């Protein structure tokens, strides 16, 4: 998977509701539901309950972050 492919896919989710699964260290997993509010060269932001959370495209490529339409 390529950074440009992931960026274009996330750009298609702009202003749409998504679920973001984050697989962290030591089996700590988080699930966020929000709206993709920004797409930037190396990160994208999701508005979750009035708080903006940012995620790296590289984490999506390696599988630590999974983004799906809600």
pTM, rounded to two decimals: 0.90
CATH number at residue 47: 2.30.30.100
The domain containing residue 38 runs over which residues?
A: 3-69
Domain count, the chain: 1
Q: Within a 13 Å sphere around the CA of 64, how many CA atoms are in the beta-carbon half?
A: 11
> Confidence class of residue 61 from pLDDT cuts 50, 70 and 90?
very high
Q: How far is CA 32 from CA 19, 24, 67, in A?
A: 6, 13, 10
Sort 53 into a burial class: Cβ within 10 Å, 0-12 / 13-18 / 19+.
Answer: middle
pLDDT-derived band at 24 (thresholds 50, 70, 90) equals confident
CB proximity list for 55: less than 8 A, separation 6 or greater: 20, 22, 43, 44, 45, 46, 65, 67
- Give the pLDDT band (50/70/90) at residue 53: very high
């Amino acid at each position: 998977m390529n950074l440009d492919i992931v960026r274009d896919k996330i750009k298609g989710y702009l202003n749409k509701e998504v679920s973001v699964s984050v697989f962290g260290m030591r089996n700590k997993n988080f699930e966020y539901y929000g709206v993709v509010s920004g797409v930037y060269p190396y990160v994208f932001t999701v508005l979750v309950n009035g708080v903006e959370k940012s995620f790296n495209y590289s984490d999506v490529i390696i599988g630590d972050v999974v983004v799906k339409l809600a």
